[in-house]
Chains A and B, each alone.
Chain A
Amino acid sequence: AQSVAQPEDQVNVAEGNPLTVKCTYSVSGNPYLFWYVQYPNRGLQFLLKYITGDNLVKGSYGFEAEFNKSQTSFHLKKPSALVSDSALYFCAVSGAGSYQLTFGKGTKLSVIP
């Protein structure tokens, strides 16, 4: 069975400071990893994904994520947070032989002006 953990229900960060949203996973085989963002009353939007190759993946809106195989983590990062980044962030994983995505419970990011 595949699973995703987002250990923080909420992350608060001051505008202009770097932000990190944590994600760890458990799958069989090589993981495919995704980050999605959900703004209020909106569906989920794709941010970035890791399939293979460089462990540092760059995505939309200046976000990036680092795949760490030994720690089974895929933390989302941004060097300088904006108030408009405030939203709900979901990490998702798909393991070998699976076409289903398993999502974490989400982390609410609040960027304080």
Chain B
Amino acid sequence: GAGVSQSPSNKVTEKGKDVELRCDPISGHTALYWYRQSLGQGLEFLIYFQGNSAPDKSGLPSDRFSAERTGGSVSTLTIQRTQQEDSAVYLCASSFDRDREYEQYFGPGTRLTVT
């Protein structure tokens, strides 16, 4: 079946511009996660959605970052007024349910470069 898809695969933007990154989770998966992977670093948790519950935004690094999930499926991560330190690979993952026994399935990521 189809896996997690993300678009665009690469995004180059100028400092100060806004960007939107999209994630399509695996059909039927109720939990959706966004992570940021910087060069040489591990994965940094950003935000988590579970069904219709309020998202866990505890990992968002600043108020320039926001995310939404429409209809319990597609999610968009928005970064406003981008800065060079926002350059990273943004990974989306989904899992069957939020219970911690379920493994997460990752998309290929969006590589964001802020010039």
Chain A residues with CB under 8 Å of chain B are 32, 34, 36, 41-46, 49, 51, 90, 94, 98-106
Contact = CB atoms under 8 A, between A and B. Distances in A.
Contact of A43 (B41, B50, B56, B107): B107
Contact of B91 (A44, A51, A106): A44
Contacts of B56: 100
Interface in B21-80: 31, 35, 40-43, 45, 48, 50, 56
Interface in B76-102: 91, 93, 98-101
A103 B100 CA distance: 14
B103 interface: yes
B103 A103 contact: no
Interface size band for B:
20 to 34
B39 to A, nearest CB: 11
Contact of B104 (A42, A101, A102): A101
A43 B91 contact: yes
A46 B40 CA distance: 20
10 contacts: A41-B108, A43-B4, A44-B93, A44-B106, A45-B106, A49-B103, A98-B100, A99-B99, A101-B104, A105-B42
Interface of B: 4, 31, 35, 40-43, 45, 48, 50, 56, 91, 93, 98-101, 103-109
Contact of A46 (B31, B105, B108): B105
A46 B103 contact: yes
B108 A103 contact: no
B100 A106 contact: no
A90 B104 CA distance: 13
B105 A103 contact: no
A94 B42 CA distance: 15
B101 A34 contact: no
Contacts of B105: 46
Contact of B42 (A46, A99, A106): A106
Contacts of B35: 103
